[in-house]
Structure 1
Amino acid sequence: MQASGGESTKFDHMVAKGEYVWRIEGFSWVPCALEQDMAADWGCHWVQADTAFRLGDQTFNFRYSCENKACNGYRGPLAIVFCSKERIALRYGIYVRARNGEFVQWSQTSKVIHHGDRHWDRHGAYGPADSRGIFGLSHEELLQSEWVENDTLTVKFELEVRPHQDEEILPMIPAAEVPEPTILKDTRALLEQGTCSDVRFMVQGEEIEAHSQILCARSEVFRKQLTGGMQESISKVILIEDCDIAIFKAFLQFLYTDQLPDAQELVQKGTSHNNETESYGRELSRIQAKLSEQVDTSQVCGILCQVLTLPAYVELVKKWPQIGVKVSLFSAGMPVRELSTTM
């Protein structure tokens, strides 16, 4: 007896993520403002963003100290401050905007646990413990650095907050296996087996069964023949003249699957040739010789790739399948002389 099982344990399902951008304008005036507050017996050694930031169930404030004075036990230039009785996990990163507009991270991303209390809120202040200042610069040095533009310091705080809750446990459900698409294989089988066919092609004395719905959807010529009141629309028999049967079968395969047969496979079928294809081969040789005097191989390949993607080429192949087969053989590397004798 065989058994299998598994589960998925999620520790991040309750994590709240957010960011807060703080612009301190008139940054050179911060020391003066703090000195004025001290003179007024307010006892502040830091400035604080006026707008509190709500993330999850917690409210955060942000402070700056130009002298790295202590704030709720934390000593550093920038502080993330909040008050909570809950045990909170906090992950944070602090970024400073440079003059080129990019935010650069100051210090590394850090994680702390705020130990709350069941009975009363407990204050906490967190941030990089760099007593020298932001990027090791004092307030005066920061004013002359790339981090202050137009007397403005711009700081971004990225926060992730996880409350103290149990992890989420889910049963592991095996991924459903999605089978590979088989529509091309199925439509080709439909053509080869003639299932539910309602049209017959007569080519070089051989009968080929096909389906009017596919023919009408894929070829304007066949749509007119089968729906325009012509003889073929009544008899459902279409006579194909002056076309090798292998070429016509390749054309039908293209209509059904959007794919041409492999070039070598088509050659091995020993397709016949006539005056038209011989003439085409001679003309192709003359064109190739003329082009070889003016363009190199890479240019020809580039032009050919562009032509093969044009909708007009697709319609051309639908009307004259010989062209598509010959181009396919030529692209596969068959010399022009062999092409003219094979087709």
Structure 2
Amino acid sequence: MKSMLCQFKKVQTKPLPHILKVMNISEKKLFELFEMWINQGNITPVHPVFKELKKRRDAEIKRKRQEKQELELLKYKELRQRKYSNKQIAKEMHYPYDKLNSFLKKWYNTLRRQGLSNEAIAKELNASKNELTPIILAYEERQRMHEEMRRRRIAENKRYARTHLKRIREDLKGPSEYFIFDTEAVQCPDELIEIAVIDCKGRTVYNSLVKPSHKINWRISSLTGITNQMVMDKPSIHQVMGDLRDLIAGKTLMSWGIDYDSVLLKKSIDSTGIDLDCKFCCAQKIHMGLVEDINQIALQRAADCDMQNHRALDDCKLVLDVLRKDIEMIDNKSAGFKQRTSADNSSNTIFIPRSEPLAATT
């Protein structure tokens, strides 16, 4: 296999068809070799050839799945036209009889998402009104519940954004109560290898690498640029948590998302027994409330940048940039309007009165 790896490295900059021809190998076999090379640490998973192979493989799997489903539908329609009973159809299609309704339901949902009307779907599936009625009612009930849940989450996110953006606005012109933080970490087990904290004026409060008890693997090093040599003489997590406690006690810490950085920091609090005496909030949820979205938004997309460095201090600054743009968006929307009444302010509309211009990053 080493000879195959050497052979690949000689042609890795060539187009994929050329690589396959020179190595006299199929796409499937090259993909399997890549998985082995990645596990051995010889090739990184971000290698452009592997990414292309994975994209083509996923597209082929999707095509075959879709082709299989379409053949199933054709067979079902043919059996319907031949006046087979549902029991006979289930037998011919190798479906348990009680699962045939699931087949109809799946195709109804698929065709409905494609924009077909109920009448067109009934014709396409050659199904009677009585057969489709319970499926239609169940679909419409799910849609109603989904829309209701979406409205509730948007309203909740808007209230969350209104509350925190107002306080962040105050931070821009007064003492800092909100700090933005970000971490980098090794995994299995999760351990911090870097943490940075800035205030809402862009000033660095804390920025340090952390020496973990486990080695940093090559995947994390390739993603962050942080190596084992870089953290060799850095403070331990106990020292870092002690320093942080003195700096952020009583403050509110913001991170992008609540399922990674905050969780890691809380784990560090538990493992060290050092309570930071701070609150946590989610900058991502603030942004979601402003743009009225219920789905998580990647920091890179929210910041509208081409790439993310995956270093703690740089990511902190990206979060601050998103929050400033959010406040600026609110200012632009509210410019030229009169002061809202107390009744207006009790609604779900996010409104923060315009005051001083945004402070420049120092």
Q: TM-score, normalised by structure 1?
A: 0.22
More strand per residue: 1
More helix per residue: 2
- For the pair shown, the structure with the greater C-alpha radius of gyration is 1
Q: TM-score, normalised by structure 2?
A: 0.21
